[in-house]
Amino acid sequence: MSGMTVYKRRRDELIKKLGRSVAIVKGAPEQTRSHDTEYPYRQDSDFFYLTGYTEPGAACIIDPNNQDHPFQMFVLPQDPKKEVWTGWRLSFEETEKKFGCDRAADIAEFENSALESLKKATKVYTNLNHNKDHHHTVLEWLQQVRKEVQRSGGGPEGIESLGAITHEMRLIKDAHEVELMEKAAQISADAHIRAMQASKPGIFEYQLQAVLEHHFVYEGGAGPAYTSIVGAGDNATVLHYVKNADEVKDGDMILIDAAAEYQMYAADITRTFPANGTFTKAQRELYDVVLKAQKAVIEAAKPGVPYKTLHELDLKLLVEGMLEIGLLEGSYDEIIEEKKYQDYFMHNTGHWLGLDVHDMGKYMVDGESRSLEPGMVFTVEPGIYVNSRSDAPERFRGIGVRIEDNILITEEGNRNLTDGVPKEVDEIEALMGRK
């Protein structure tokens, strides 16, 4: 399935779930970067998921009570003077055809059409995400309509989050989404290989960032799916190190957490490797603990497994490993109970991945960890971070290691979408030309 069919199938599913309620959905606003220049525009993920529409200034109404126009889109009208600056806009007829809507109209008509739809709806669903203004506007419309139709007993009872429906749908990727995520993963994996090959003492972190991001865009990606992290030495121990400003030193380990967004879908890859291409003994000891845990967690990921058991397994193996190499001391039980491992491992083992890098969808359902199902995609990303100020054994100080892959659950088990980039010690050393 491809093209507009996927969006129609999603809207049909949404319409079934709406019953007699209406969804009033707004596209993402443009964001100012400085003075009168904007950040590159990126559509709201839910809006995109339902429409496939990537231009700014749009909204849509999905209304099961509207027999003639269950799917209406509201877009910026054609305006030759503005189009000279920002590019051609489709006519309403072209929009209807291209996006399969029953009616396309000027965004200026959005309010009146929304008010009409609200009169017949039992509830209204809006995308809450980052667009607070839209939520307030819909609340005002709802109050207005309730006053108008009070005597006939109508008007929606309240506002619900559209995400309650769409985020559950987004959790299970369809074939079209898997294809795009495979492409995002492949571009990102190739970029990591190039960055490893370019690494050497004396290079700057931002130069490696440039190698990665050049490849993302060169291969047709929108750019990085999130701010690239390139940290050498102690910088690798800072979880969200995004300055990428320092020179790489001989003997450093380099941690790169960077990936492309491709046609709105994110990959999310981390690799850690020695700047000079050869692991020291201490680097390898730490690395092997993380690698062993990461591989075991991936091995354990299959349908029916509760998601939280992956983190539990990861934690167990990391703590056992840290005890073995002498990074942690004491009893296993005490380290777990008192969370002493948090000195070196302080984040979760992974997260859902899709249109958003930290993708939507609940991790718990009715108080229970949700079970893995075919079509789910998530990251597996254990790490150990020993910063230079730590009182850990000296040989481990200033080393941060994370290894992160993107895993698709299949009927049989799982598929690693990012296995195109090496993570075995021998493979990394060979790739960097030191073996």
Of 20, 130, 358, 434, which is the active-site residue?
A: 358
**CA 308 – CA 121 distance, rounded (Å):** 39
The nearer residue to ligand GLY, 162 or 403, going by C-beta atoms, is 403
Strands 364-365 and 368-369, bridge-based pairing: antiparallel
**Is 268 marked active-site?**
yes
**Looking only at residues 299 through 358 of this chain, which bind ligand GLY when binding is defined by CB under 6 A?**
351, 357
**Residue 62 · residue 18 · CB < 8 Å:** yes
CA end-to-end span of the chain, whole Å?
45
Rg (alpha carbons) of the chain, rounded to whole number: 25
Alpha helices in 241-349 (DSSP H): 281-300, 307-324, 332-337
**Is 247 marked active-site?**
no
**Is 214 marked active-site?**
no
- Residue 226 touches which member of Mn ion, ligand GLY, none, C-beta under 5-8 Å by kind: ligand GLY
Of 268, 356, 359, 405, which is the active-site residue?
A: 268
Residue of 96, 213, 261, 268 interacting with ligand GLY (CB under 6 A): 268
For the bound state, the minimum distance from the C-beta of residue 257 to Mn ion, rounded and expressed in Å, comes to 4
The nearer residue to ligand GLY, 66 or 270, going by C-beta atoms, is 270
**Is 385 marked active-site?**
yes
261 is a site residue for ligand GLY (CB under 6 A): no
**Is 359 marked active-site?**
no
**Looking only at residues 358 through 417 of this chain, which bind ligand GLY when binding is defined by CB under 6 A?**
381, 404
For the bound state, the minimum distance from the C-beta of residue 402 to Mn ion, rounded and expressed in Å, comes to 8
**CA 414 – CA 130 distance, rounded (Å):** 33
**What's the DSSP call for residue 22?**
E
177: closest CA among 359, 403, 404, 18?
359
CA distances (Å), 151 to each of 113, 117, 123, 146, 154, in order? 21, 17, 18, 9, 8
Residue of 205, 257, 343, 356 interacting with Mn ion (CB under 5 A): 257
257 is a site residue for ligand GLY (CB under 6 A): yes
Residue of 41, 204, 206, 226 interacting with ligand GLY (CB under 6 A): 226
Binding mask 93-132 toward Mn ion (x if CB under 5 A, else -) reads: ----------------------------------------
For the bound state, the minimum distance from the C-beta of residue 226 to Mn ion, rounded and expressed in Å, comes to 7
**Is 177 marked active-site?**
no
For the bound state, the minimum distance from the C-beta of residue 351 to ligand GLY, rounded and expressed in Å, comes to 6
For the bound state, the minimum distance from the C-beta of residue 347 to ligand GLY, rounded and expressed in Å, comes to 8
Amino acid symbol at 122: T
The nearer residue to Mn ion, 234 or 257, going by C-beta atoms, is 257
For 197, the token pair is: 């090959």
CA distances (Å), 351 to each of 129, 292, 421, in order? 18, 19, 20
Of 103, 167, 311, 402, which is the active-site residue?
A: 402
For 27, the token pair is: 């596209």
Helix (H, G, I), strand (E, B) or coil at 41: coil
- Residue 285 touches which member of Mn ion, ligand GLY, none, C-beta under 5-8 Å by kind: none
Give the sheet arrangement for strand 270-274, strand by strand.
229-232, 253-257, 270-274
206 is a site residue for ligand GLY (CB under 6 A): no
Residue of 96, 268, 285, 405 interacting with Mn ion (CB under 5 A): 268
Phi, psi of 21 (to 5 degrees): -95, 165
**Residue 356 · residue 129 · CB < 8 Å:** no
**CA 320 – CA 384 distance, rounded (Å):** 13
**Looking only at residues 333 through 392 of this chain, which bind Mn ion when binding is defined by CB under 5 A?**
379
The nearer residue to Mn ion, 261 or 404, going by C-beta atoms, is 404
Of 347, 370, 395, 415, which is the active-site residue?
A: 347
Of 46, 63, 177, 257, which is the active-site residue?
A: 257
For the bound state, the minimum distance from the C-beta of residue 266 to ligand GLY, rounded and expressed in Å, comes to 9
**Which distant-in-sequence residues (6+ apart) come within 8 Å of 249 by Cβ?**
201, 232, 233, 275
Q: Among all residues, whose Cβ is closest to ligand GLY?
A: 257
Helix (H, G, I), strand (E, B) or coil at 341: helix
CA distances (Å), 334 to each of 168, 317, 328, 330, 331, in order? 38, 15, 11, 7, 5
Binding site for ligand GLY (CB under 6 A): 226, 257, 268, 351, 357, 381, 404
What is the set of active-site residues?
36, 240, 257, 268, 347, 351, 358, 381, 385, 402, 404
